[in-house]
Amino acid sequence: MSTLDTSSTGLQALLSPGTARSAVLPVVRQRVSALEPTLARICCYHLGFTDERGDPAGAGSGKLTRAALMTTAAEGVGLRPEDVRTQAAALELLHNSTLVHDDIIDADELRRGRPAAWKVFGASLAILAGDALQALSLQMVVDDPGPGRAEVSSAFAEALRLVLSGQSREFTVRLGSGADIAAYDRIVEEKTSALLVCALVTPALRAGRPERVLAALRGAGRHLGLAFQILNDVEDIWGDPAVTGKPVRGDIRRRNPSFPVLAALAADSPVGERLRGLWHGDGTAAAHLQEMADLVEESGGRHTAERVSRGHLDSALEHLGRAELAPAASAELAVQFDRIVNRTT
């Protein structure tokens, strides 16, 4: 593809999720298939390319959210989607490495509606598969000969460092007694926002855009991650498993202090006190979890979470407006931001 249709209609057709999928998935499949055979089999299963026997499968491979953001941001800074295709594929691999590891850490048995990789192949091999995806991701950006290679490689390494830091910090908050919104925000900025920031800034780094543009894109990614994660926490408690691909109330069962819970626990009321007592107990029966969910909602935790998520989305769009991107690409990114946070089609 040598030219881009920069009209709004043409851009939407070019950079639809299906287009990002067709551009990036072949790269992902090719690179993962070249891994050591056992690791390749596990990674291909996790990505939905194959079933547990290694036969072709029609399972979903994810929404390629970060790849779509990166290819759209590329047009915004005067690049073509193929100019960042390798980086977009690498970021999807890095993201999926965190999913493989998260499922093990959280003992989540389902991923995208089917058994998680660790349930099929065992935790030890799944850990190695996640590590292999991380190494492959970094190798892809380091080996790419395009402009801004050093800066992009540094951005990927920093994103990985932040994700690992956030994962470690989450254990401290989960087990400690001082969990609050500020601690929650920091974890989300590291675990979730870091990869979204990487998706948005990578094209600007390749295009040599100035620091003010990078700062605006970093701000957009930071707030987008917070908006997404807070609403994702709402879905964990009250969402539809057919949409999320996981059973509801996993965070409550693990006593993982998600945003609605933190907001509810902060409420100075008898309801908040009742919730606090149940939270520090060890009940995991369905009725116990349902009661906690009801108390979170009665305490205003759900309403507060939805309101704060909307505020972060508005802030993300404000930062996006300061990023000096081509208007059509900026408009398409705004649509993608809403789709990410609200799971709109």
Domains and CATH numbers, the chain: 8-342 (1.10.600.10)
pLDDT band at 283 (very low <50, low <70, confident <90, very high): confident
- Give the global pTM: 0.91
pLDDT band at 3 (very low <50, low <70, confident <90, very high): very low
Across 338-344, average pLDDT: 90
Q: Percent of the chain at pLDDT above 90?
A: 74
DSSP bridge pairs for 114: 111
Q: How far apart are CA 125 and CA 131, in angstroms?
A: 10
67-109 confidence digits (pLDDT tens): 999 999 999 999 999 999 999 999 999 999 999 999 999 899 9
Query: Is residue 2 predicted with pLDDT exceeding 70?
Result: no
Q: Percent of the chain at pLDDT above 70?
A: 91
pLDDT band at 1 (very low <50, low <70, confident <90, very high): very low
- Give the angle 197-81-73 at the CA atoms, nearest 5°: 35
Q: How far apart are CA 162 and CA 148, in angstroms?
A: 21
The Cβ of residue 63 has, within 10 Å, a number of other Cβ atoms equal to: 15
User: The tokens 């058994």 sit on which residue?
Assistant: 115
- The pLDDT of residue 245: 67
Q: Lowest-confidence range among 39-43, 121-125, 236-240, 304-308? A: 236-240
Cα-Cα-Cα-Cα torsion 287, 290, 294, 297, nearest 10 degrees, comes to 170
Look at the chain and count its residues.
345
Annotate the chain with three-state secondary structure.
CCCCCCCHHHHHHHCCHHHHHHHHHHHHHHHHHCCCHHHHHHHHHHCCCECCCCCECCCCCCCCHHHHHHHHHHHHCCCCHHHHHHHHHHHHHHHHHHHHHHHHHHCCCEECCEECHHHHHCHHHHHHHHHHHHHHHHHHHHHCCCCCHHHHHHHHHHHHHHHHHHHHHHHHHHHCCCCCHHHHHHHHHHHHHHHHHHHHHHHHHHCCCCHHHHHHHHHHHHHHHHHHHHHHHHHHHHCCHHHHCCCCCHHHHCCCCCHHHHHHHCCCCHHHHHHHHHHCCCCCCHHHHHHHHHHHHHCCHHHHHHHHHHHHHHHHHHHHHCCCCCHHHHHHHHHHHHHHHHCCC
Across 256-282, average pLDDT: 87
156-192 confidence digits (pLDDT tens): 999 999 999 999 998 887 655 556 899 999 999 999 9
- In whole numbers, what is the pLDDT of the chain averaged over residues? 90
- The pLDDT of residue 60: 60
Name which of 69, 98, 68, 66 is nearest 191 in CA terms: 98
Long-range pairs of 305-308 with CB within 8 A, sequence gap ≥ 24:
305/230, 305/231, 305/233, 305/234, 305/259, 305/260, 305/263, 306/231, 306/234, 308/230, 308/259, 308/263
